[in-house]
């Protein structure tokens, strides 16, 4: 009986050892679901973990701004500086720069798409203003521009004062109109305004003579210059672009801001700007 008891005890110990080893193996294999980036489960706040679990970063981008976010008619792919920023972010968060899903936005739709959770973030020449900070979180600026004017060469305009009383075309829901009204008041001149939903529509309005000038940030205007048009040397009111996310996504906002700081510091952002001739 004594021998039988010793055998039973050995079997029990063996079973316990096997269970301990099994639990150890499960613990080692199940601790990471953040992909190649090395982010482990529990390391990320809920709003970031939701993106990791989905496996794709949903980004609102422009598709009509050459150099920033533009759907290339030859390839049908969306390309530009802001697309490359999104890819760099996806590589950091998901371990793969291809894990982005872009959604076309305009100045009018980018806010509602964030509000409705149809995109996680917006990288779309979104100018940072104190008023907008009441509705959305913004990162530190990744690009700074100024407002300018695209005009027909034949019109002979050389300065903003030459546009006194003229019709200026602006994008719907953009900050441009308010900035122009403020500047006109300061200079003692006046403008008429015509608002359009997209930049191609504004460019077409200029070409057809429905507006006298197309006004928005100069880097955006660069994509629409042709042999008959030019950008006035005059520019005003610096426009700082930031990545935007929902106001209640505080952890995501901090992650995004840190990311912009990192790509500024390591030269990645400069390389992207050089690639798209935006230096």
Rounded-to-integer distance, Cα 104 and Cα 61, Å: 5
Residue 8, pLDDT score? 54
User: Tens of pLDDT along 252-265?
Assistant: 999 999 999 999 99
191 and 138 assigned to the same domain: no
User: Tens of pLDDT along 36-80?
Assistant: 444 544 578 999 999 999 999 999 999 999 999 999 999 999 999
154 and 205 assigned to the same domain: yes
Provide the 10 A C-beta neighbour count for residue 216.
25
157 and 215 assigned to the same domain: yes
Average pLDDT rounded to a whole number, residues 235-244: 96
For residue 35 the two structure tokens come to 């992909």
163 and 216 assigned to the same domain: yes
DSSP 127: B
- State the average pLDDT for the chain: 88
Residue 27, pLDDT score? 43
Instruction: Quickly tell me which residue has 């029990």 as its tokens.
Output: 12
Q: What are the CA-CA distances from residue 20 to residues 26, 27, 101, 263 (Å)?
A: 10, 11, 43, 44
Q: Is residue 21 part of a domain?
A: no
DSSP 40: P
Which CATH number characterizes residue 203's domain?
A: 3.40.190.10
Residue 26, pLDDT score? 39
Domain extent, residue 130, equals 46-142+242-275
Question: Is the per-residue pLDDT at 3 higher than 70?
Answer: no
83 and 216 assigned to the same domain: no
223 and 168 assigned to the same domain: yes
Q: Is residue 19 part of a domain?
A: no
Cβ(10)–Cβ(20) below 8 Å: no
105 and 172 assigned to the same domain: no
256 and 128 assigned to the same domain: yes
Please calculate the CA angle 54-60-66 and round it to the nearest 5 degrees: 135
The tally of domains found in the chain comes to 2
User: Tens of pLDDT along 143-185?
Assistant: 999 999 999 999 999 999 999 999 999 999 888 999 999 999 9
Residue 23, pLDDT score? 44
For residue 248 the two structure tokens come to 């209640």
Question: Is the per-residue pLDDT at 111 higher than 70?
Answer: yes
Residue 195, strand partner residues = 170
Question: Is the per-residue pLDDT at 29 higher than 80?
Answer: no
Rounded-to-integer distance, Cα 145 and Cα 127, Å: 9
Residue 44, strand partner residues = none
Q: Is residue 4 part of a domain?
A: no
225 and 186 assigned to the same domain: yes
161 and 183 assigned to the same domain: yes
Q: What are the CA-CA distances from residue 106 to residues 98, 163, 165, 200 (Å)?
A: 23, 26, 28, 12
259 and 226 assigned to the same domain: no
Residue 14, pLDDT score? 52
Q: Is residue 177 part of a domain?
A: yes
For residue 34 the two structure tokens come to 């953040």
Q: Is residue 234 part of a domain?
A: yes
Rounded-to-integer distance, Cα 7 and Cα 184, Å: 97
Query: Is pTM beyond 0.85 here?
Result: no
For residue 77 the two structure tokens come to 């792919």
Q: Is residue 23 part of a domain?
A: no
232 and 248 assigned to the same domain: no
């Amino acid at each position: 009986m004594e021998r039988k008891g010793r055998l039973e005890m050995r079997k029990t110990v063996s079973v316990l050892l096997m269970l301990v080893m099994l639990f150890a193996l499960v613990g080692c294999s199940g601790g990471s679901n953040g992909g190649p980036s090395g982010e482990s489960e529990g390391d990320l706040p809920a709003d970031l973990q939701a993106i990791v679990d989905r496996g794709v970063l949903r980004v609102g981008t422009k598709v009509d701004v050459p150099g920033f976010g533009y759907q290339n008619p030859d390839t049908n792919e969306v390309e530009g500086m802001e697309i490359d920023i999104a890819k760099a972010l996806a590589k950091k968060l998901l371990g793969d720069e291809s894990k982005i899903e872009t959604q076309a936005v305009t100045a009018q739709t980018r806010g509602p798409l964030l509000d409705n959770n149809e995109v996680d973030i917006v990288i779309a020449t979104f100018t940072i203003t104190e008023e907008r900070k009441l509705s959305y979180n913004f990162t530190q600026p990744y690009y700074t521009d100024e407002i300018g004017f695209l005009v027909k060469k034949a019109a002979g305009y050389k300065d903003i004062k030459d546009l006194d009383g003229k019709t200026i075309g602006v994008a719907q829901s953009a900050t441009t109109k308010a900035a122009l009204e403020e500047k006109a008041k300061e200079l003692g001149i006046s403008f008429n305004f015509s608002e359009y939903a997209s930049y191609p529509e504004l460019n077409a309005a200029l070409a057809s003579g429905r507006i006298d000038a197309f006004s928005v940030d100069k880097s955006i205007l660069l994509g629409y210059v042709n042999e008959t048009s030019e950008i006035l040397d005059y520019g005003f009111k610096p426009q700082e672009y930031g990545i935007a996310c929902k106001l209640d996504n505080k952890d995501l906002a901090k992650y995004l801001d840190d990311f912009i700081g990192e790509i500024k510091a390591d030269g990645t952002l400069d390389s992207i700007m050089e690639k798209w001739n935006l230096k």
